[in-house]
Amino acid sequence: MGLKEPLEDFFYKKVVRNLLLLSNLGRRSALGEAATGYNFDYMYENKAHGFLGIGLLIDKILLNLPAVQATRARRVNIVKILSNEIENHKLRGEATRILDLACGAGRYLADIAKIYPSDKIEIVGVDFDKKSLELAKSLSGKQGISKERIRFIKGNVFKLRILKKLGQQVDWRPNVVIASGLTVYIDDDKVITMLKQIYEGLDKDGLLLIDSQESNPSRKLMEKALKTKEGAWVLYYRPPEQWRQWFLKFGFRDIVVSRDPWKMYNICSARKS
């Protein structure tokens, strides 16, 4: 092994990481909270904070990284797709029932509830992180969104039994299922199992909305200097063709895959036959 890798590791782990600790976003991400819903919500909010002037400057730089800009664009694109689905349901006189797996702080769920304050929309968000759920409830509460419109439930979606449990708990079947920021953390076998169970739990003609990462311009920074609660921040990267194959395999139709300008996120949607 040459000198390049040890020097690179030293640079990221000793120099970059110590600088990141001065920034709010950097500190959370370096100390194990990188993949939490409340950390992503900080990116959505896009207001820099930090220790001393240099910490504030670093936070501003981090919040303007291409990967973070792409994350904010993802929120906008999800809201657009959900809005289109809600409008279609309205034309047919149907209610929209949204299930968000690994919902985090649920900011785009609150966006939708605010855009359609008087329409028939029922939203259930599921996440395992208590702090993210507390923030989600706080955000929706501050915006005057009732608990009847958005319900947040604690559950481990990685165990892939949430649809069945949800049906037993509240006698409720979604016609929209969202899995944003979820599949990048699980291997192919778990994704396949998840798709099978979503198909079974989704209402007929219901929409599945998934985002996936094809690449990440901050990959080296993430893997060498940042951490999740489970350890290193390592993601599964998948091309659009993989999602098309999986959707077809389980009988989904009307498959749409769109790439963002940074060629980072692919927003994938498909409809249950």
DSSP 204-262: TT-EEEEEEES--TTHHHHHHH-EETTEE-------HHHHHHHHHHTTEEEEEEEE-TT
The backbone region for 75, taken as left when phi is positive above 0, alpha when psi lies in -120 to 50, beta otherwise, is alpha
Q: Extract the runs of DSSP E, i.e. beta strands, from 108-156.
A: 121-127, 150-154
Identify the pLDDT of residue 43.
97
Superfamily of the domain at 68-272: Vaccinia Virus protein VP39 (3.40.50.150)
Least-confidence region, from 38-42, 78-82, 161-165, 214-218: 161-165
Position 37 confidence tier, pLDDT thresholds 50, 70, 90: very high
What residue type is assigned to position 164 of the chain? K
Q: Give the C-alpha distances (Å, rounded to integers) separating 259 from 44, 74, 187, 215, 219.
A: 19, 10, 21, 11, 18
Identify the pLDDT of residue 172.
75
CA 265, CA 273: separation in Å to the nearest integer? 26
Identify the pLDDT of residue 168.
60
Q: In what order do the strands lie in the sheet with 265-272?
A: 150-154, 121-127, 96-101, 176-179, 207-213, 265-272, 252-259
Overall average pLDDT of the 247-261 stretch? 95
CA 124, CA 148: separation in Å to the nearest integer? 10
Candidates 217, 228, 224; CA nearest to 185 is: 228
Strands 176-179 and 231-232: unpaired
Exposed / middle / buried, residue 262 (Cβ in 10 Å: 0-12, 13-18, 19+): middle
- Note the Cα 264 to chain centre separation in Å: 13
Instruction: Give the percent of the chain with pLDDT over 70.
Output: 94
What residue type is assigned to position 183 of the chain? T
The backbone region for 97, taken as left when phi is positive above 0, alpha when psi lies in -120 to 50, beta otherwise, is beta
Identify the pLDDT of residue 225.
94
Position 171 confidence tier, pLDDT thresholds 50, 70, 90: low
Position 164 confidence tier, pLDDT thresholds 50, 70, 90: low
Instruction: Give the percent of the chain with pLDDT over 90.
Output: 80
Instruction: Name which residue leads in pLDDT, 161 or 149.
Output: 149
Q: Give the C-alpha distances (Å, rounded to integers) separating 1 from 7, 134, 154, 225, 234.
A: 11, 47, 46, 21, 22
DSSP annotation string for 21-68: TTBHHHHHHHTT-TTSHHHHHHHHHT---BSHHHHHHHHHHHHTSHHH
* Domain ranges, ordered by start, for the chain: 4-65, 68-272
First to last CA, the chain: 53
List the structure tokens of 6. Answer: 């040890």
Provide the mean pLDDT of the chain.
Answer: 92
Identify the pLDDT of residue 242.
96
* Segment 203-212, tens digit of pLDDT: 999 999 999 9
